[in-house]
């Protein structure tokens, strides 16, 4: 049986705000197997980043987790002490953030930052500067970075946005990891280099045999990069399936609405978008959070929260329209 790297069960996260508690995550379930590449797709502010930050326990101080479990290689992240958390962050999982400029320290060279990360990993031999330097050069070479020695002596401001993000990819994979989390890693880059950076990320993750969680609002990016897609709406995973199957047969009304927004080269008119807006997290709908925007909502949808059910092999959907056999 394939090893499970991440197993999030029934996770609730809320944020303390001036207007009261914002109940963002509403019982999230997510599983990532060893070597699996998974994406989380959904609108801005639907809880994607909160979900992955929970895995590393790097949520903002005003966040709290009233319920749920996050297992990383079988250990409960929410019960980890300081040293276990350090180990998780230094050698278990790494995260590539949206903005590479904010991820890198402007007053240290790339070499100083890479060597610090490599040293922190605790891998054997990294106490020696020559080993750290060698690993840093190798990691940069693996991301197709020209002249790694020069890059190591450069400060972040001396590199382009695409190069900075490639440095972040190199940083996240310079030492062995079980999981890489990439939070919209190409959003702040020029369109011309987005594809190149994604290809490098995918290729490096595959070469190292680690798992990937990619956050994106683009189904196209998810399709190109990952094996499985989780569709997220207002703090709930509303559907998950292997990538090809989800594209062949999206079941949840929100997944179908998102798919209808993808522009097609063959034409067919402009997408209309999804009417309405994301629910208010301070006072979310009692039942299905998509009900106020769902064209197929029934009275029951406004009262009860739909649970996720199996509708096929590795295909789950949380919607009252489906029974366990996937029929309507
Ligand atoms: Fe629409 Fe009801 Fe399904 Fe929610 S549970 S997506 S409101 S049909």
- Do 189 and 161 contact (CB within 8 A), yes or no? yes
* pLDDT at 16 > cutoff 60: yes
| Average pLDDT rounded to a whole number, residues 114-118 | 95
Report the run of H or E that residue 137 belongs to, with start and end.
helix 129-142
Please give the C-alpha separations between residue 215 and each of 20, 48, 167, 208, in angstroms, as whole numbers: 28, 7, 19, 20
Q: What is the mean pLDDT of the chain?
A: 92
Domains of the chain: 4-322 (3.40.50.300)
The pLDDT value given to residue 83? 95
| Average pLDDT rounded to a whole number, residues 3-32 | 97
* pLDDT at 6 > cutoff 80: yes
**What's the pLDDT band for 328 if we cut at 50, 70, 90?**
low
233 pocket-lining for ligand 1 (C-beta < 6 Å)? no
Q: How far is the CA of 53 from the centre of ligand 1 (A)?
A: 28
Segment 225-249, tens digit of pLDDT: 999 999 999 999 999 999 999 999 9
Segment 166-210, tens digit of pLDDT: 999 999 999 999 999 999 998 877 888 888 889 999 999 999 999
The pLDDT value given to residue 267? 60
Nearest-atom number in ligand 1 for the CA of 253 is 6
Q: What is the pairing mode between strands 211-216 and 179-183?
A: parallel
* pLDDT at 223 > cutoff 70: yes
The pLDDT value given to residue 144? 86
Q: How many CB atoms lie within 10 A of CB 240?
A: 25
Q: Is 294 helix (H, G, I), strand (E, B) or coil?
A: coil
* pLDDT at 324 > cutoff 60: no
* pLDDT at 268 > cutoff 60: no
**pTM, to two decimals:** 0.94
The pLDDT value given to residue 327? 54
306 pocket-lining for ligand 1 (C-beta < 6 Å)? yes
290 pocket-lining for ligand 1 (C-beta < 6 Å)? yes
Residue 236 sits at the vertex; the CA angle it makes with 271 and 103, to the nearest 5 degrees, is 85
The pLDDT value given to residue 270? 52
Q: How far is CA 309 from the centre of its chain?
A: 22
Residue nearest to atom 7 of ligand 1 (CA): 291
The pLDDT value given to residue 264? 67
The pLDDT value given to residue 46? 95
Please give the C-alpha separations between residue 99 and each of 219, 272, 305, in angstroms, as whole numbers: 20, 30, 35
For the chain, percent of residues with pLDDT exceeding 70: 95
């Amino acid at each position: 049986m394939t090893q499970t790297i991440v197993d999030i069960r029934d996770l609730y996260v809320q944020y303390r705000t001036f207007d009261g508690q914002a109940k963002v995550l509403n019982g999230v379930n997510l599983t990532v197997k060893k070597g699996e590449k998974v994406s989380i797709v959904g609108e801005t502010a639907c809880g994607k980043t909160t979900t992955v930050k929970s895995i590393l326990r790097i949520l903002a101080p005003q966040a709290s987790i009233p319920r749920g479990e996050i297992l990383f290689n079988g250990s409960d992240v929410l019960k980890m002490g300081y040293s276990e958390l350090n180990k998780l962050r230094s050698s278990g999982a790494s995260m590539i953030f949206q903005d590479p400029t904010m991820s890198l320290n402007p007053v240290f060279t790339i070499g100083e930052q890479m060597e610090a990360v490599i040293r922190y990993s605790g891998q054997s031999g990294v106490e020696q500067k020559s080993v750290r330097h060698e690993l840093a050069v190798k990691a940069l070479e693996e991301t197709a970075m020209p002249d790694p020695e020069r890059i190591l002596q450069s400060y972040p401001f001396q590199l382009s946005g695409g190069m900075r993000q490639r440095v972040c990819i190199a940083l996240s994979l310079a030492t062995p990891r079980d999981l890489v989390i990439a939070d919209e890693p190409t959003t702040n880059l020029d369109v011309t280099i987005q594809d190149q950076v994604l290809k490098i990320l995918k290729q490096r993750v595959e070469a190292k045999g680690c798992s990937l969680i990619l956050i994106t609002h683009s189904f196209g990016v998810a399709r190109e990069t990952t094996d499985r897609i989780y569709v997220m709406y207002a703090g709930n995973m509303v559907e998950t399936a292997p990538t090809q199957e989800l594209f062949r047969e999206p079941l949840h009304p929100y997944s179908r609405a998102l798919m209808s927004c993808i522009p097609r080269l063959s034409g067919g008119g402009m997408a209309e978008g999804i009417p309405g807006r994301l629910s208010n997290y301070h006072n979310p709908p009692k039942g299905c959070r998509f009900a106020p925007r769902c064209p197929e909502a029934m009275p029951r949808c406004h009262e009860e929260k739909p649970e996720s059910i199996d509708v096929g092999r590795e295909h789950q959907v949380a919607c009252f329209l489906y029974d366990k056999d996937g029929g309507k």
